[in-house]
Amino acid sequence: MNDAPLVLGLPLLHAAGRDLLSARYRVVELEDPAQVEERLPEADALYCYPPLTVSARMIERAGRLKVIAAAGSGVDHIDLQAAADAGIAVTHAVGAGALSVAEHAIGHMLCLAKRLVEIDRALREGRFGPREAEAYEELSGRTLAIVGFGAIGRALARIAARGFEMDVIAVTRSGTPVDDPNVRRTLPLRDALAAADVVSVHVPLMPSTRGLIGREELRRMKPTAWLIDTSRGGVVDSAALHDMLVAGRLAGAGLDVFEPEPPPVDAPLLALPNVVVSPHCAGITRAAYRRLSLSAANDIDQVLRGMRPAGLVVPPPRSPSIAHPGELP
């Protein structure tokens, strides 16, 4: 195995991916991103996820590298253009964490509807309440707008429509109807925001989606609506969101992502009682990590064997140009 291709990266998220790769390749897992960068010129394949950022400078030094496999759906930590210019394939884990993220988004909705965080804290502090019907809501019958209808969006639509009898709107760039039995309507973003009781954001962070939900978009939402963001920090304008919540123009928000991460302890949004937060953990479950690990390992294996994996973001040389995953269709 000493002459086998070298797969380098941060620790694989699950032993299943390690077992698949170690049967054919040398596998080196390092805890420190700086150590990964130091060994990169030796590597034929790179396995990565934040906090490892793959810059153009790193790619220039990676003379042997044939594939960069992201162990997740996001690729905003990889310089895609530099990889394309160097003829290095980039892959991501298509749909591997979708169910976990979708369930997490539902969890944030339930926390807001049932005020679970607030009443948990109150009870521990000796306050038994509130117990008035006006304090709590149901998800059933509410209108949910899903912004970005990839694998996560489809998983969320299924749970919301079948499990909670929500009226689901899919948001696409063009408004072309989505072919999904769990979707009632497909609308452009501005119309969906005005119609929804809950807006859940599921797009990757890239130049075209940075600030996608800004002050003007938030103003279009109902004052009784909730915003859920499990995508990436930077897609939603956090300052505008804070202002709208403080002014009573929005009822609440559930946030799993921030910019920067972690957010400072004095971040204004963290001080608001109608904001439920989590530490960018929506896709972190045992089942999801197994799927993510296997997806990335399979992608690496297929590229190194001259095949074309399903998760290509940047194809190898002589293939079509960059395709951005998860952007609004």
The four Cα atoms 208, 97, 11, 255 give a dihedral, to 10 degrees, of 60
Cβ 227 vs Cβ 218: under 8 Å: yes
Burial class (CB in 10 A: 0-12, 13-18, 19+), 100: buried
Which one from 29, 60, 216, 261 is the annotated catalytic residue? 261
- Sequence-distant (6+) residues with CB within 8 A of 232 are 74, 76, 204, 205, 257, 259
The answer to whether 232 is a known catalytic residue is yes
Out of 14, 142, 280, 291, the active site residue is 280
The 10 Å CB-count burial string (b at 16+, else e) for 20-57 is bbbeebbbeebeebeebbeebeebbbbbbbeebebeee
Q: Select which of 92, 104, 115, 232 is catalytic.
A: 232
Closest among 33, 43, 85 to 64, alpha carbons compared:
43
Q: How many residues does the chain have?
A: 329
Residue 249 CB partners (closer than 8 Å, separation 6+): 218, 219, 221, 223
CB contact burial 123-140 (16+ within 10 A = b; e otherwise): eeeeeeeeeeeeeebebe
- Check if the beta carbon of residue 88 is closer than 8 Å to that of residue 56: no
**Which are the catalytic amino acids?**
232, 261, 280
